[in-house]
């Protein structure tokens, strides 16, 4: 196995991908980034090289381009696996531009699966999402919780992606269903980098705190939760990144295709996130309660026992560390 240490990381300059590159290097792998930089910045590569004290190979290419991808991967020689992050990820945009999402998210995975077959690449780790569960009838959700009708084209691309993998790669794949990734690397060198208006809560919090956004809106305080705001399972991105390394290692001895929830197993409310951010960072936020937002799920959090036992992985950080690191990243990247 020592000859096969190269791991292709599609979308490796993105939020989760970049943190996974750091963890792969730390674990002794050789990550090779494939990214078209449509949802990331090329200078992240320099940050990764600084952070890891390594020279990181990368290629600027669209994952849907089979011919170019085939030429690149064949030229790299033995490849141990592919971690496939590259996808568009905005729920709202997917509603407005469904064909963009179907073409990119499903098209890129189809190409990756074909390359894996043609080049005999043994391992695949796929970036899925807890959105596949929708509004679950019973909490916490396990990997056996029924998959419901997708609330958005984005969510549907994740459901289709999982089915594609189960159909096309019946062994040697791990599907990771993320809950809500937040935070940043403690160095402040890499973190979440929204292009335009943030879609996720924590970058909107940090951008409001630093003055880029005038006000944070909390959508609804009349849900059936302890403080009336929505509940989510927020996981530190470094913990999430480590799960990908564990998934690659799991496939050393397990040749099946398997699915895992990757979360903390705890639920925190939107209001709790705001109050914790203020307390941890000694910073006041300008926020306002507004009407509910269409399509928001009231609450969801993970049962992570399967990942704890089989992947030998667990989340080590909580929301305090994640919100501290997210704020440090925001402050370090003001120009």
Give the pLDDT confidence score for residue 193 in this predicted structure: 92
Please report the domains of the chain, with CATH numbers, ordered by start residue: 6-181+234-263+302-315 (3.40.50.720)
Query: CA-to-CA distance for 147 and 151, rounded, in angstroms?
Result: 11
Active site (annotated) includes residue 156: no
Say yes or no to pLDDT of 40 above 50: yes
Q: Which residue has the tokens 């951008």?
A: 207
Question: Mean pLDDT, to the nearest integer, of 206-226?
Answer: 97
Confidence band, pLDDT 50/70/90 cuts, at residue 57: very high
Give the pLDDT confidence score for residue 1 in this predicted structure: 40
Contact 143, 228 (CB under 8 A): no
Give the pLDDT confidence score for residue 196 in this predicted structure: 84
This prediction has a pTM of: 0.96
The residues near 51 (Cβ < 8 Å, ≥ 6 apart) are: 22, 185, 187, 189, 190
Q: What is the pLDDT of residues 143-177, one digit of tens each?
A: 999 998 888 899 999 999 999 999 998 899 999 99
**Lowest-confidence region among 21-30, 86-95, 211-220:** 86-95
DSSP code, position 302: B
Q: Which of 58, 133, 154, 250 is catalytic?
A: 154
Query: CA-to-CA distance for 19 and 98, rounded, in angstroms?
Result: 28
Give the pLDDT confidence score for residue 199 in this predicted structure: 85
Q: What is the pLDDT of residues 122-148, one digit of tens each?
A: 999 999 999 999 889 999 999 999 998
Query: CA-to-CA distance for 250 and 272, rounded, in angstroms?
Result: 35
Question: Mean pLDDT, to the nearest integer, of 94-119?
Answer: 96
The CB density around residue 154, as the number of other CB atoms within 10 Å, is: 23
Query: CA-to-CA distance for 7 and 30, rounded, in angstroms?
Result: 6
Q: What is the mean pLDDT of the chain?
A: 95
Pull the structure tokens for residue 201: 């809560």
Give the pLDDT confidence score for residue 334 in this predicted structure: 67
Q: Which residue has the tokens 């509004």?
A: 135
Query: CA-to-CA distance for 109 and 173, rounded, in angstroms?
Result: 13
Say yes or no to pLDDT of 216 above 90: yes
Q: What is the pLDDT of residues 266-321, one digit of tens each?
A: 999 999 999 999 999 999 999 999 999 887 889 999 999 999 999 999 999 999 99
């Amino acid at each position: 196995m020592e000859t096969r240490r190269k791991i292709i990381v599609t979308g490796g300059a993105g939020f989760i991908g970049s943190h996974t590159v750091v963890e792969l290097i730390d674990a002794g792998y050789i990550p090779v980034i494939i990214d078209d930089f449509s949802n990331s910045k090329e200078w992240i590569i320099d940050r990764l090289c600084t952070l890891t004290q390594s020279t990181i190979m990368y290629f600027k290419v669209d994952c849907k381009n089979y011919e170019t991808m085939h030429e690149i991967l064949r030229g790299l020689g033995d490849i141990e696996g592919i971690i496939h992050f590259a996808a568009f990820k905005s729920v709202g945009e997917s509603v407005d531009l469904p064909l963009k999402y179907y073409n990119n998210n499903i098209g890129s995975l189809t190409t990756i699966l074909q390359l894996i077959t043609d080049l005999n690449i043994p391992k695949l780790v796929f970036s899925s999402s807890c959105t596949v569960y929708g509004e679950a009838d019973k909490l916490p959700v396990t990997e056996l919780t029924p998959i419901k009708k997708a609330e958005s084209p984005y969510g549907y691309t994740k459901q289709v992606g999982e089915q594609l993998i189960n159909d096309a790669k019946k062994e040697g794949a791990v599907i990771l269903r993320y809950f809500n990734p937040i935070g940043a690397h403690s160095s402040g060198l890499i973190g979440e980098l929204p292009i335009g208006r943030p879609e996720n809560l924590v970058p909107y919090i940090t951008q409001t705190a630093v003055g880029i956004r005038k006000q944070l809106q909390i959508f609804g305080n009349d849900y059936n939760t302890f403080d009336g705001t929505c509940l989510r399972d927020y996981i530190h991105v470094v913990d999430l990144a480590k799960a990908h390394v564990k998934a690659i290692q799991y496939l050393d001895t397990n040749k099946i295709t398997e699915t895992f929830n990757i979360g903390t197993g705890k639920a925190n409310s939107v209001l709790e996130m705001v109050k914790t951010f203020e307390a941890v960072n000694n910073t006041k936020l300008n926020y306002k309660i507004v009407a509910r937002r269409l399509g928001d799920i009231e609450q969801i959090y993970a049962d992570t026992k399967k990942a704890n036992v089989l992947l030998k992985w667990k989340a080590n950080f909580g929301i305090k560390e994640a919100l501290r690191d997210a704020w440090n990243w925001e402050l370090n990247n003001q120009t």
